[in-house]
Amino acid sequence: MRILFVGDIVGKGGRQAVAALVPVLRAELGCGFCIANAENAAGGSGITRRCLNELGTAGVDVFTSGDHVWDQREFADEIDHIPNVLRPANANPAQPGRGYGCFTAADGTRVGVLCLLGRTFMNGLSDCPFQVADRAVAELRALAPVLMVDFHAEATSEKIALARYLDGRVSAVLGTHTHVPTADECVLPGGTALQCDVGMVGSRESILGRDIEPVLKRFATGMPSRFTLADHHVRLHASVVTVYPQGRATAIERIVRDLA
């Protein structure tokens, strides 16, 4: 089977691109399952149920998240009512929602999805992703042959390390968070696909999805600047992972499409 993994959805423009392009990509590329990171879908920071409802017919089976998952306060009360949204599994266990689960692809294949948060150069408040992955993967492997991991992290070294650690136990470790796609896609010896960052669904005329001038002002002067969202010239970054029914990845391919 083929699985489409979509990078960080940024704001309204990102939602529009996902709604328009994901159904086309699924049909064109023969993808039976789709995962997308939605932690920046609401105004560029956080998630709301309303935003996810806009994407209800877009063909995304599971939404993952990251360190901005609670930026929209109401989402803490909403997440338990949305079964296909995951918060980081190694976040504080007192937080609502869940960090992994099993879902059913179009052909009936069971797909486990795990969302993890990195610690290097992050806020340092999450538990060890390696230890949490051990527990979650052991549970998921009993339920699903195909296991996909969204590792929302800053450091490429940490992302590669986790993929090497899980090689042969999961189908793919795909990175999110930096909004910049990396050119390191590969399949490791044990059959785990790796890409350090899939990228984003956001404006290509921006700095990580934000308008250019406010960000330049902050870097050039060191003074506070309100980062406004760029919703024009939206580009979708994604990756397609080809997986045997038993869960071993055989190929990974980067996808880039512009919203007309």
Provide the CATH topology of domain 2-258: Purple Acid Phosphatase; chain A, domain 2 (3.60.21)
Q: How far apart are the first and last CA of the chain?
A: 29
Alpha-carbon distance of 47 to 192, in angstroms, equals 29
- pLDDT range class, residue 16, cuts 50, 70, 90: very high
pLDDT of residue 123: 79
Strands (E), the chain: 2-6, 8-9, 33-37, 62-64, 100-104, 110-117, 146-152, 172-176, 186-187, 193-195, 200-203, 234-243, 249-258
Buried b or exposed e, range 38-72, using 16+ CB within 10 angstroms? bbbbbebbbbbbebbeebeebbbbbbbbbbbbbbb
Could you tell me whether strands 186-187 and 172-176 are parallel, antiparallel, or unpaired per DSSP bridges?
unpaired
Residue 124, pLDDT above cutoff 80: no
Which has more confidence, 13 or 124? 13
Q: Is 68 designated active site? A: yes
**Mean pLDDT value of segment 136-152:** 97
Q: Is-contact 237 201, C-beta < 8 A?
A: yes
**Mean pLDDT value of segment 221-232:** 92
pLDDT of residue 118: 97
CB atoms near residue 36 (< 10 Å): 28
Residue 19, pLDDT above cutoff 90: yes
**Mean pLDDT value of segment 34-52:** 94
pLDDT of residue 57: 85
Mean pLDDT of the chain: 96
Q: 3-class SS at 104? A: strand
Read off the pTM: 0.96
Query: Which region among 25-39, 118-132, 134-148, 240-254 has the lowest average model confidence (pLDDT)?
Result: 118-132
Residue 56, pLDDT above cutoff 90: no
Residue 54, pLDDT above cutoff 90: no
Catalytic residue among 68, 152, 179, 237: 68
**Mean pLDDT value of segment 203-216:** 95
pLDDT of residue 231: 87
